[in-house]
Amino acid sequence: AQKVTQAQTEISVVEKEDVTLDCVYETRDTTYYLFWYKQPPSGELVFLIRRNSFDEQNEISGRYSWNFQKSTSSFNFTITASQVVDSAVYFCALSEAKDNFNKFYFGSGTKLNVKP
């Protein structure tokens, strides 16, 4: 069965600090996709990144970076020099690689509070 665990329920940092959000997943599939979404108070899930299980290269996008390690089934997300606007709930998600079906398994989320 598919499962995503985000052990950090809530994290508080001061602006400009770096912060890492942890994500551990379980799946028996050899091909799958991993995602990170940001959920601001408005409720909408904002797409941040999608990673194919065959691509273990780390990715950097501005202040955001992602570390995918298949050996430990982890897909961690780091925000460098955090800003108040980064305050939100962040979800890690897993989906199977299917042609005719699209289902996300979400973790329970990590609430990030960035204080000025």
Partner 1 sequence: DAGVTQSPTHLIKTRGQHVTLRCSPISGHKSVSWYQQVLGQGPQFIFQYYEKEERGRGNFPDRFSARQFPNYSSELNVNALLLGDSALYLCASSSAPGTKNTEAFFGQGTRLTVV
Residue type, 60: I
Candidate segments 11-19, 54-62, 71-79, 91-99, binder of partner 1 by CB under 8 A: 91-99
- 28 interacts with partner 1 by CB under 8 A: no
Among 30, 43, 62, 71, binds partner 1 (CB under 8 A): 43
Among 36, 95, 112, 114, binds partner 1 (CB under 8 A): 95
Among 8, 13, 22, 33, binds partner 1 (CB under 8 A): 33
- 50 interacts with partner 1 by CB under 8 A: yes
Task: Please check whether residue 66 is in contact with residue 77, taking contact to mean a CB–CB distance below 8 angstroms.
Answer: yes
What DSSP line would sit under 20-78, residue for residue?
EE--EEE-S-SSEEEEEEEE-TT-PPEEEEEEETT----EEETTEEEEEEGGGTEEEEE
